[in-house]
Amino acid sequence: MNVECPTCKKSVEWTESNPSRPFCSERCKLIDLGAWANEEYKVPAENASPDDLDQGGETTRH
């Protein structure tokens, strides 16, 4: 089965022999990782109310 590399759009065969799948190469994989790290991509989420954020009364540190 062939898929499109999310970074460069090159056609890539989806096989176990491709450790970078769904990317065509380690380079494209790292470009994508860098985009996530630079917050160029975002996962959509519902807006949370202050009450939702305050459940449990515990503060967590990242």
At residue 26, the pLDDT reads 96
Is residue 57's pLDDT more than 60?
A: no
Here the tokens at position 59 are 């503060």
State the Cα–Cα distance between residues 37 and 44, nearest whole angstrom: 16
The domains found in the chain, sorted by start residue, are 2-37 (3.30.50.10)
pLDDT tens digits for 1-56?
A: 999 999 999 999 999 999 999 999 999 999 999 999 999 988 888 876 777 666 65
State the Cα–Cα distance between residues 44 and 61, nearest whole angstrom: 22
CA distances from 50 to 44, 45, 47, 55 (A): 18, 15, 10, 9
